[in-house]
Amino acid sequence: MSTSLSHLFDANVAWVDRKTRKDPGFFQRMAEQQSPRYVWIGCSDSRVTANDVLGLDPGEIFVHRNIANIVHTSDLNILSVLEYAVDHLQVEHIIVCGHYGCGGVARALSGERGAMLDHWLQPLTMLYHKHRATFDAFSDLRVRINRMCEVNIEMQVRRIAAMPIIEKAWARGQSLNLHGWIYAIDDGLLRDLGPHLSSIEQRDALPTIDNCVITPADPVSAVRRQAIAAFSQLDLGDACCGGDGDGLRCVAE
């Protein structure tokens, strides 16, 4: 087997050829500056790449990835990324996006200890131990892991919102919005999980992460949102209930 990875260089050439055929000035614009509107805090999982998932070109999103999309407030890497993105690039949106079936989250729930990875996952492991009865009430391990994936995202959004970098931006009136999303690898769809925060006041009004464990959010995909919007435009009273004004109840039944 070749060790030169020449096939990857060949793929790079083919990619450049496709981009320049479609847009001859693409790489010249990329070289001049980057002006992304979004920051993506995601998992290192090779199946979840921000540009592909969002359908964006290079230069449109600023990306930081790590195991299980954990936000450590002492992590110089993520602090540097956020400071540069907020203060220099003036991004408008910070997205924390995890994914269902996350291997890092599964490790945090596994009880295995001792590796460097376990130090990284410790905040998530501690949350699991605190609410173990709630999570273990799900007999299906996959459901348990996926529920923890959701809670993990909500926790990391709160951690970002508590950073002085973010507080300072909000205090000076900078437009900066935090979002919690989750991605399903098995269907390719993003789901809006929340919370969504645009100010210190909104952050301070949030329920605690412990409350989130007990009261699950309802992740909503764009497909579902579009279906709800289309459904709400139907004249359901005339369509299914003879105009008696109780159409929604009839469809639900």
Active-site residues: which are they? 43, 45, 47, 99, 102
Cα dihedral angle (89, 93, 99, 103), rounded to 10 degrees? 40
CA 144 to chain centre: 19
Burial class (CB in 10 A: 0-12, 13-18, 19+), 13: exposed
Question: Locate tokens 């469809």: which residue?
Answer: 251
Cα separations in angstroms, 78 against 53, 63, 65, 74, 181: 21, 10, 9, 9, 18
To the nearest 10 degrees (0 to 180), the angle between helices 141-161 and 103-110 is 100
Side chain identity at 226, as an amino acid letter?
Answer: Q
Contact (Cβ atoms closer than 8 angstroms) between residue 147 and residue 153: no
Contact (Cβ atoms closer than 8 angstroms) between residue 191 and residue 221: yes
